[in-house]
Copies of this chain bind each other. A is one copy, B any other.
Amino acid sequence: MNLEQILSTIREEVSPLTGQGRVADYIPELSSQDPGKFGMAIETLSGESYSVGDAGDKFTIQSISKVLTLSLAFSQLGDKLWNRMGVEPTGNPFNSLVQLEYEKGKPRNPLVNAGALVVSDILISRTAYALKDLLQFVNELAGEEIVFNQEVARSEKEWGYINRAMVNFMKGHDNIENPTEQVLDMYYHQCSIEMNCVQLARTFLYLANHGINPRNGEKILSRSQSKRLMSLMLTCGLYDEAGEFAFRVGLPGKSGVGGGIVAIIPGKMSLAVWSPGLNDHGNSLAGIMALELFTTKTGLSIF
């Protein structure tokens, strides 16, 4: 089977799962998503594109944005980044304060909410135009204009009490430099970035390409940094389900509560999948299944 046929088969096989799960309902903009939607896209380093289903529908990428801000901060600060956060998985949900308290305000890794908030703080400290810079960075990766969904950003910020708790807690432990509301503003804007599966897969191709934007040859991360970032995705990318995802799928990936997941096959391709129905861990039910089917059918895996 070629990749096109494989995508078709996957779409069929996951169809019993689409419509299942629970759509994120903490803000109206997410709860109105149709749980029956399913899209998937692949971009290869050799320039091929494949997609299936609702791969042209836009959604907010949410926590997937953590990899983008982390890439930006890693390229700017290098290993100094790790003075502010660790690289270990947590075994706790994405928004847990327990580990944060035991470790005195230092997040376990940059892919849980606490870590991503510190990354946002770092980006703000470097420039007053952090949001604009981020968008510029994403535009260059996507090769077209990407925008924030301002309504989603506003709504999430209004209702985001747990993240507000977290950033204040870290500020109380001197691990946030800027005003907490400014950090939250940055964070919720990055989460509100809107893309479809095709754009998302294209945007993440720099990781498959070991840190180089294949569109223009620009080096975003060194080969070693790229390896490190993907290793973080594998060990920490799906919160307290990271082990299960590594176990079943075997690829570095990152999920978002909007129902999207990206996954990378280093040296080969990037994948994006989207289906808004979530499992108990807050990850796309059909999305995880689709990626597992993909690695099973193709035998492609990092292991």
A residues lining the B interface (CB < 8 Å): 86-92, 96-102, 108-109, 160-162, 164-166, 168-169, 171-172, 180, 223-224, 226-228, 230-232, 234-236, 240-244, 246-248, 250, 252, 266, 295-296, 299, 301-303
Report how many copies the assembly holds: 4
- Whether A231 touches B247, Cβ cut-off 8 Å, given contacts A91-B91, A101-B98, is yes
Show 19 A/B contacts (Cβ-Cβ < 8 Å), sorted by A: A86-B243, A87-B247, A88-B240, A88-B241, A88-B242, A88-B243, A90-B91, A98-B101, A108-B243, A161-B168, A161-B172, A162-B172, A165-B168, A228-B247, A232-B247, A235-B242, A235-B243, A235-B246, A302-B303
> Which residues from B are CB-within-8-Å of A241?
88
Choose among A102, A161, A226, A230 the residue with the greatest number of B CB atoms under 10 Å from its CB. A161
A303 near B250 with CB under 8 A, answer no
How far apart are the CA atoms of A252 and B231 in the complex, in Å? 11
> Which residues from B are CB-within-8-Å of A228?
247-248, 250
B87 near A243 with CB under 8 A, answer yes
How far apart are the CA atoms of A183 and B232 in the complex, in Å? 35
What 7 A-B pairs have minimum CB-CB distances, sorted nearest first? A161-B172, A88-B243, A165-B169, A165-B168, A89-B89, A302-B302, A230-B303
A266 near B302 with CB under 8 A, answer yes
> Which residues from B are CB-within-8-Å of A96?
101
A87 to chain B, nearest CB (A): 4
How far apart are the CA atoms of A169 and B113 in the complex, in Å? 14
> Which residues from B are CB-within-8-Å of A299?
223
Of the residues B161, B172, B302, contact of A171 by C-beta under 8 Å: B161
A295 nearest CB neighbor, chain B only: B227
How far apart are the CA atoms of A71 and B120 in the complex, in Å? 42
B97 near A101 with CB under 8 A, answer yes
How far apart are the CA atoms of A295 and B90 in the complex, in Å? 25
> Which residues from B are CB-within-8-Å of A91?
88-92, 99, 108
How far apart are the CA atoms of A164 and B86 in the complex, in Å? 25
A220 to chain B, nearest CB (A): 15
A88-B242, A231-B250 known; 12 new pairs, CB 8 Å cut-off, are A86-B243, A88-B244, A89-B89, A90-B91, A98-B101, A98-B102, A109-B243, A160-B172, A161-B171, A224-B296, A235-B242, A235-B247
